[in-house]
Amino acid sequence: MENEIFKDPNISKAYLRLSLPLVLSMAVTLIYNLADTYFIAQSNDTNIVAGVSLGMPLFTLLMAFGNIFGQGGSSLISRLLGQKNEQGVRHVSSFCFYITIFAGILIAAFMLVFRVPLLHVLGASEETFVHA
């Protein structure tokens, strides 16, 4: 494994190098959402735009659950790398990968089963419900 970034005493350099992928992924998600809304707005139907906007909290919820395992796992992986425990790193990274997929499927199934009450809680009206 490449641990050179942890050997450098300059913490700010390591922090910037490790945080850059996270910031870039958040920027890509933001651009994706803006582009999605822009192209849907070209239909000139406010109900469709409202439907997409109503789905945004659910999309954010799925991302949050993914980040729980990603950030928590990366903290543990960092400690295991410090202990030079490569086998533990492999186990934790595999677990985080598979539990994220499992949690996503479980949440998606829950949202499909309870989509009608969930969309009403989010504020969907009769006009926007079909698009949400």
**Residue 117: is its pLDDT beyond 70?**
yes
Q: What is the mean pLDDT of residues 36-59?
A: 85
Most confident of 22-31, 49-58, 90-99: 90-99
Using alpha carbons, select from 70, 53, 29, 47 the residue that is nearest to residue 126. Answer: 47
Of 70 and 9, more confident: 70
Q: Which two tokens stand for residue 58?
A: 């659910």
Is the pTM higher than 0.75?
A: no
Looking at the predicted structure, is the pLDDT value of residue 12 above 80?
Answer: no
| Range 42-58 average pLDDT | 85
